[in-house]
Structure 1
Amino acid sequence: MDGGASDTAVDTKTAAETEQRKAWDDEARDSLHILPLSSIPLETPGLQHARLIKNVRLQTVVEMFRDAQTGSGQVSPRHIPAYFESYKDEVERDLVKLEKIGAASSFDVYSSRIELRRLNIDVNNVESLTLSDRKKAELTSYMRVFTRPLMEYVYGTEELQVADVTDIIQLFANPNRDEALRNLRMMADRLDIGLTDIPKFLEEYGDIFLSLAYFRKCLDEIVPEVQRFVGWMGEIRSSAEVKRDSRQMRMLDEIARDLTDIATSITGRFESFDNRSKDFWSDINADTFRSIRELISSHHVTIGGVLCGLAVKMNLWKHRFARGGGGPNRRMEFVKSEILPGLSHIKALEQSARTGHL
């Protein structure tokens, strides 16, 4: 009896640990600011269990551990050798990779794929560089914007129930209407591909627009927080301490203006993407698809960087001031120490994207 109870307790603990590990892994896959080092071929034992993260100042640090009791154990990459003295040569080689990857502005899966390919690291079939199933399910409503015109083009209706692009690939692999088959042949001709290559095209179409849906959802969550923060920050302008200091007033004005400009600009970029995707369906051909694919891919790094920067700052603000409030001095200190550092980097990223042509 005792042995059985003990085994059950162990099984329960193991299941709980497995579930916790999965949640930990999924958080990293779906995050803008976390890159699990298991995604990268490293030589140092133990580093594979760590993660690169962006802190609130947008600096890259190695998170060696994290739990509810002890918090997050963060180390600057240059201090890593002290933790692995028995693997001096391996750490030295690994640090070259970490420093190059750490220079990225975001660790979302799409930006990370780009950065890792630049290091000639194979990212195909690396599960940690894809969104989790839970996140993909969350994005279903966002994906309908891109699956709807596809369904209308081939089936003449948007009423067929599809959860994601995988369902569409299955649907189009075995079209159940003569008209749909004719439309698929027409699409294949316009895209200059064989009918049997349509599923491959749909996978590529799905991935590029899944990335847009992912970033759009991040944007929709972050922009309202930015607006709330600007209002919260503006409340201290009426305090006597702040009013007496023209430099502080000017700083508050500049931060509010920068945050508003960044949010407005990146929102405008998404509107441009939407318009370009509509153009594709009004004139389907290989060139228009290649053009929109390259356009969206070329913006992954700047979109990821801007959203990552805003997200880590807004997350800390919500954590630090969970109930709002905070006196003028406390708010001003937070703005100066946590919001201002790195804000110029976010602004520069967004301005660099504006020089591109949408």
Structure 2
Amino acid sequence: MDGGASETAADAKSAPDTEKRRAWDDEARDSLHILPLSAIPLETPGLQHARLIKNVRLQTVVEMFRDAQTGSGQVSPRHIPAYFESYKDEIERDLVKLEKIGAASSFDVYSSRIELRRLNIDVNNVESLTLSDRKKAELTSYMRVFTRPLMEYVYGTEELQVADVTDIIQLFANPNRDEALRNLRMMADRLDIGLGEIPQFLEEYGDVFLSLAYFRKCLDEIVPEVQRFVGWMGEIRSSAEVKRDPRQIRMLDDIARDLTDISTSITGRFESFDNRSKDFWSDINADTFRSIRELISSHHVTIGGVLCGLAVKMNLWKHRFARGGGGPNRRMEFVKSEILPGLSHIKALEQSARTGHL
């Protein structure tokens, strides 16, 4: 009787722990600035539970733990060996990987896949390098932009209810109308693939445009925050403390201009992707799909880097000044110490994409 009671108590305790772990893992998978080290084959026991994160200065640090009470335990990668003295050889080899991966500008799942492939690390079927089910559900409305033309092309309607590309694959695996089957055959011919390869094409189509939907949602959340921050920062230009120093005025103007230019430029890139995806549906063939897939994939790293940089800075600003406000000196100090460092890196990343040097 007692054994059964203690088992029940243990189960009750493990349920919140499992839930907490799942939330911890999902946060990392859906984030622009966190990479769970469980995604990487490492030799050092204990390191698998840590995470690489980007701090507000866009430096890569290892987050050993995070807790509501104790905060975040962050360590520079070069100081990690001191925590694993019993595994000197293993940590040395792992450190080489961490330093190479840590040089990435973003830790979103799409950029991380690219960076890990460059290190010859197999990223196929690694759950922590895919978006969580919760995030995919959030992106349903964004994905409709890309699933709608597919439904119209095959079924002649957009009224069929689909939540994501998985639903479409199942729908197209057993088309329920003769006309739909004819259209699928025509699509297969145009793409130069067999009818049986259509589900594989749809999976690839889904992954390419899921990445675009993910980044688009990040952009839609970040840009309004950037605009609010620029307004908040501009409020201190008229204060007596700031007006006395033309250099401070110039710095505020430069930061405001850079943030506005970056936001405008990256928004323009997404408009270009939207236009290219429309072109694909007006002229479906293997070359147009390959072209748009390569175009979007080639921008993953720069889009991820720009959005990651803006996100960590805006998140800290919202946390530090949750109710707005803050006197001129406090605001100026925050701008100088937290916003300015790393901003030139974000600007350079966006400029490199704009000029085509990816």
The residue number in structure 2 matching 1:94 is: 94
The residue number in structure 2 matching 1:121 is: 121
- Deviations 1:305-333, CA, capped at 9 Å, x for gaps: 00000000000000000000000000000
Alignment of 1:132-281 (within 5 A): 132-281=132-281
Measure the CA separation in 1 of the matches of 2:213 and 2:137.
11
Measure the CA separation in 1 of the matches of 2:357 and 2:60.
30
Shift of 1:11: 1.7
Specify every segment of 5 or more residues in structure 1 that has no aligned partner in the other structure, as ranges: none
Shift of 1:50: 0.3
Is residue 2:308 matched to residue 1:308?
Answer: yes
Measure the CA separation in 2 of the matches of 1:2 and 1:42.
41
Measure the CA separation in 2 of the matches of 1:352 and 1:204.
27
- Deviations 1:238-294, CA, capped at 9 Å, x for gaps: 100000000000000000000000000000000000000000000000000000000
Measure the CA separation in 2 of the matches of 1:62 and 1:78.
10
Measure the CA separation in 2 of the matches of 1:357 and 1:156.
40
- Deviations 1:148-198, CA, capped at 9 Å, x for gaps: 000000000000000000000000000000000000000000000000000
Shift of 1:5: 5.0
Measure the CA separation in 2 of the matches of 1:351 and 1:179.
47
Shift of 1:10: 2.3
Shift of 1:100: 0.3
Residues matched between the structures, number = 358
Shift of 1:205: 0.1
Give the root-mean-square deviation of aligned CA atoms. 1.2
Measure the CA separation in 1 of the matches of 2:309 and 2:32.
9
Measure the CA separation in 2 of the matches of 1:146 and 1:273.
11
SS in structure 1 at match of 2:92: helix
CA 1:195–1:357: 2 relative to 1, 3 Å? farther
Shift of 1:97: 0.4
Shift of 1:12: 1.6
Shift of 1:7: 3.8
SS in structure 1 at match of 2:66: strand
Shift of 1:8: 3.3
Measure the CA separation in 1 of the matches of 2:103 and 2:4.
52
- Deviations 1:122-162, CA, capped at 9 Å, x for gaps: 00000000000000000000000000000000000000000
Measure the CA separation in 1 of the matches of 2:343 and 2:243.
23
Measure the CA separation in 1 of the matches of 2:259 and 2:64.
32
Measure the CA separation in 2 of the matches of 1:124 and 1:320.
39
The residue number in structure 1 matching 2:295 is: 295
SS in structure 1 at match of 2:72: strand
- Deviations 1:191-250, CA, capped at 9 Å, x for gaps: 000000000000000000000000000000000000000000000011000000000000
Measure the CA separation in 2 of the matches of 1:341 and 1:264.
21
Measure the CA separation in 2 of the matches of 1:5 and 1:224.
53
SS in structure 1 at match of 2:73: strand
SS in structure 1 at match of 2:275: helix
Measure the CA separation in 1 of the matches of 2:357 and 2:49.
40
Shift of 1:38: 0.3
Measure the CA separation in 2 of the matches of 1:150 and 1:54.
37
Measure the CA separation in 2 of the matches of 1:98 and 1:330.
35
The residue number in structure 1 matching 2:342 is: 342
SS in structure 1 at match of 2:58: coil
SS in structure 1 at match of 2:323: coil
The residue number in structure 2 matching 1:324 is: 324
Measure the CA separation in 2 of the matches of 1:234 and 1:131.
37
Measure the CA separation in 1 of the matches of 2:127 and 2:38.
10
Shift of 1:42: 0.3
CA 1:5–1:325: 2 relative to 1, 3 Å? farther
Shift of 1:4: 5.4
SS in structure 2 at match of 1:161: coil
Shift of 1:357: 9.1
SS in structure 2 at match of 1:72: strand
Measure the CA separation in 2 of the matches of 1:145 and 1:58.
33
SS in structure 2 at match of 1:62: strand
- Deviations 1:298-356, CA, capped at 9 Å, x for gaps: 00000000000000000000000000000000000000000000000000000000012
Measure the CA separation in 2 of the matches of 1:294 and 1:346.
23
Q: Calculate the TM-score normalised by the size of structure 2.
A: 0.99
Q: Calculate the TM-score normalised by the size of structure 1.
A: 0.99
Measure the CA separation in 1 of the matches of 2:324 and 2:241.
20
SS in structure 1 at match of 2:226: helix
Moved over 6 A (4+): none
CA 1:208–1:321: 2 relative to 1, 3 Å? same
